[in-house]
Structure formats: C-alpha cells, structure tokens
Amino acid sequence: DEGVGDSSGTSLNDSSSKHTIFIADSDSDMLEFVADCLKNTFNIRIFTSAEECWNAMITQRPSLVMCAEGMADMTGSALCERAKNERALERLPFILTTDGVLTQGELAIKNISLFADDYVPSPYNLQSVTARINSLLGEPNSEAPVMDDTTRGADAMTSAAKVQLQQLLDQYILQNIGR
C-alpha cells in the first residue's frame, strides 16, 4: 500500500482533471477503505491527523474536506471552524462526519461546529456521500463508483464486491459500537 496510515496526507491518485478531496479520520482502516472507493471519482488525500490535514489545506487548497468529528489531535469541528475563519479557506466546502444522526440541537449541545456545509452520520453510505460531495462541488449528481471492476467498468459493482463491502461495514460497526 501507499502508506495510507501516514498522517502526512497520502495521495491515492494524481489526475489533475478531478476535484481533490481531503479526508481525515483517525480510523485508518475505514479511511483507507473509503479513499479506495472514491479514488476513481476524485483525487483523494487522506490524513489520520487533523493538524496534518490543516497544514495541507493551507498549502494545497483542496476542493472539499471531509473530516471525522472524533479526531484525536483536534476535533473535526475545530478544524472546520479554523478553516471557515481563514480568509483563503472560508468558502471551502466542509463535510463533518459524526457518530450517528444528530439534530441541530444535539450538535449545539455536543459543541459540534455549525459551520460545516454538511453533516454525515457514521457509518455512512458511500453513494450518498458521493452525491453530497458532488452537490457541494456543484457537480451533477452521479452514482458513486464504489469498487473498481475492470471487467464491467469503474461504475459497476459486482455481487462479490457488495458482499465484501457489507462485511467491511459490519466489521467497522461492530468495532465502533462501544465508542
């Protein structure tokens, strides 16, 4: 692998015609999985450190940032507020992933940033996330290519891939229920 757990922001592809998305999450396995699923649609940079993501945001100007609220070194809310208060980044679309569905009141009670452009409860549906990303980027709403299937094209998902995806999601949910 290409150092997916490396908090310095591993790039999974480098096509200049695609939007660059920064994804930050402390769960490196889930981070790698999500990035792998989205890499055919977007240029993906991944981070296991919110501070490293911030440093890259300043110098590389991504098209969008998606960050987990529960980062160890800085909450996703803090990263979002920091970006929205920086003149050069104030219009940067930001998706905050949260543990479960939260109302606006619950977001305020938990001191979760109301500056984010969208909120996605975790675990999330990758097609829904891709649609939200496309919407924030002003792109047409298209289905997410969730797995690479060279025999039928990047947009196809085989039944074996669906089973693998479901197993990975089930494993992730089981590992994170106690949080």
Calpha distance 46→144 (Å, rounded): 18
**């679309």: which residue's tokens?**
93
Q: How many other β-carbons are positioned within 10 Å of the β-carbon of residue 78?
A: 18
- Give strand pairing partners of 151: none
Summarize pLDDT for 128-145 with one digit per residue, the tens.
Answer: 899 999 999 998 755 444
Percent share of the chain, pLDDT over 70:
63
Both tokens assigned to 175: 């590992």
> What stretch of H or E contains 34?
helix 28-38
Query: 70, 179 in Cβ contact below 8 A?
Result: yes
Distances (CA, A) of 167 to 1, 87, 161, 174: 21, 42, 10, 11
Summarize pLDDT for 28-79 with one digit per residue, the tens.
Answer: 988 898 999 999 999 999 999 999 999 999 999 999 999 998 888 998 989 9
Q: Is the full-model pTM beyond 0.75?
A: no
